Structure 1
Amino acid sequence: MRILLIGPPGAGKGTQAVRLASRLSIQHISAGDLFREHIDQGTELGRNARTHISSGRLVPDGITIGVLAERLGRPDTARGFLLDGFPRNIPQAEALDGILADSGSGLDAVLDLEIPEAEVVGRIAGRRLCRRNREHIFHVDHSPPEVAGACDVCGGELYQRDDDREATVRRRLEIHRSETAPVVGHYQAAGLVSTISALGQVQEVLDRALLAIGQGQGQVDASGTPRR
């Protein structure tokens, strides 16, 4: 199964992408993670990407498309994949369509996570990551560490990413509205889009996503029911 996960920053795309990909036994491909790897390694691509990411701007299409095209061409995507953070605008969506068409495939589903803007700002601006392990994530309000500024798991220093600062978050939301939201319309014409509420517990959102792609069981409340 080939799935695209869309939503504003702070909607929980990364969390849901990891869980969905694991549940479906497909590859989770995160544009953000790929760029951060290059930034950590100090590559030329990483240096160029950092300038854009730290100021809340999107990485140029040419760089992004090239990185993702290479990743999608690896053998481990043959069983399927879940894209997280790409495509972010219409040119990238059209490039993705072309890449998949060249391989004789296409997307099976597009999941659009929906969340109020105020919730997004609160979620992201309060987030803190461990410098030793970015999978150790805390929140100053919802899940604070036992010792301020220190990771509960390994004691590493907690920090706020440049693109998690409030001013940058609001700029990212503006970019999402103007550039990324139209991608939903691009795929709605093909009947691929399911809009899902991103509010509630992680498992609740996951259940809605699974129902939307025909992999779930049971019922969800009316406000969270996936709709096409």
Structure 2
Amino acid sequence: MRLLIAEDDPMLAQGLRRALQRAGYTVDVVGAGEDAIAAARANPYALILLDLGLPTVSGLQALKTIRGRRDATPVIIVTARDRPEQKVEGLDAGADDYVVKPFDLDELLARIRAQIRRREQRTSDALAAHGVSVDLAARTVANAGGPVAVTAKEFKVLAALMRRMGQFVSKEELEGALYDDTADVESNTIEVAVYGLRRKLGPGLIVTARGLGYTIPKEA
């Protein structure tokens, strides 16, 4: 499960990153508001931890931009700003929770788990297009109602494309769904996964465009 930390204090960001990785999460870190916006656009995060005092673009403006794109990814504001009106402003801008620094790590982890559970309860675990369905909870794939055996990498690529149906997803973005940033990326992993999915689900499901990446077109 992939999380994003948007925090401009490098020591706090790396300490939090290590703690979340120990808890079993894959974690990306950015230090500026515009980078948080770009990362949220490029990756299907399970949750975002967002500082308000980010440079270039404030955390509050980044949150408004993310919500303005109809992105419902859970966002927990983590900030030193503790006045009631600041909390109200953050929550009204679309944050799901508000945590004041310094915070208790175990409490923050519990809040992260709670937000992820809530999202899983309010969104469907099933994605479908062109007769192909993906059950995100059971991690199964079906084509025309019949089960299809796929590899773990094929499943992750298919799920990433299904989540962004109608949009082109670059090879680098798909690699980000498969690997954390410390792993060695095999150069042909995405091509192999896409080849396998086309062979199992039909050649027309995934469309490739040079310079843009891969997409599953929306159904008419």
TM-score normalised by L of structure 2: 0.34
Higher strand share: 2
Larger relative contact order (Cα-Cα within 8 Å, sequence gap ≥ 6): 1
Greater percentage in helix? 1
Larger Rg: 2
TM-score norm. by structure 1 comes to 0.33
